[in-house]
Copies of this chain bind each other. A is one copy, B any other.
Amino acid sequence: MSGIVLGANRYGKAEVRLVRAARRGERHELVDLEVTVALAGDLADTHLSGDNNKVLPTDSQKNTVYGFARDWNRDGVAEIEEFGLRLARHFVDSQPSIHKARIEILEYSWERLSVDGEPAPHSFARSGRELRTATVSYDGEHAFVVSGLRDLVLMNTTDSEFQGYVKDRYTTLSETTDRILATAVNARWRHLALDTAWGKSYAECRRHLIEAFAGTHSRSLQQTLYAMGHRMLTHRPELAEVRLSLPNKHHFLVDLSPFGLDNPGEVFHASDRPYGLIEGTVARDGVPPAPLAWDLSEGGL
Contacts and interface: CB of A to CB of B under 8 A. Distances in A.
A266 B215 contact: no
B268 A226 contact: no
Interface stretch (A3-11, A77-85, A139-147): A3-11
Interface residues of A, number: 153
A56 B168 contact: yes
Interface in A161-211: 162-173, 180, 210-211
Interface in A262-296: 262-286, 289, 291, 294-295
Contacts of A220: 46-47, 50, 52, 55
Contacts of A54: 166
Contact of A69 (B11, B63, B267, B280): B267
Contact of A274 (B16, B46, B285): B16
Interface string A150-170: 011111111100111111111
Interface in A102-123: 110, 113, 115-116, 120, 122-123
A249 to B, nearest CB: 10
A164 B277 contact: no
Interface in A224-270: 225-226, 229-230, 233-234, 241, 243, 245, 247-248, 251, 254, 256, 258-270
Interface string A70-103: 1010000000000000000000001101000000
A235 to B, nearest CB: 11
A255 to B, nearest CB: 9
One complex includes copies of this chain to the number of 4
A127 to B, nearest CB: 7
A148 to B, nearest CB: 13
Contacts of A62: 274
A282 B6 contact: yes
A30 B274 contact: no
A110 B58 contact: no
Contacts of A301: 243, 245, 279-281
A296 to B, nearest CB: 9
A276 B11 contact: yes
Contacts of A67: 169-170, 256, 259, 261
A213 interface: yes
Nearest to A94: B168
A124 B155 contact: yes
A21 B63 contact: no
B14 A274 contact: yes
Q: Nearest 3 pairs between A and B by C-beta? A: A50-B219, A128-B128, A7-B281
Given A67-B256, A272-B273, 14 more contacts: A14-B275, A15-B273, A38-B279, A50-B220, A56-B166, A57-B171, A63-B170, A63-B258, A69-B266, A116-B211, A124-B156, A125-B152, A125-B210, A128-B129
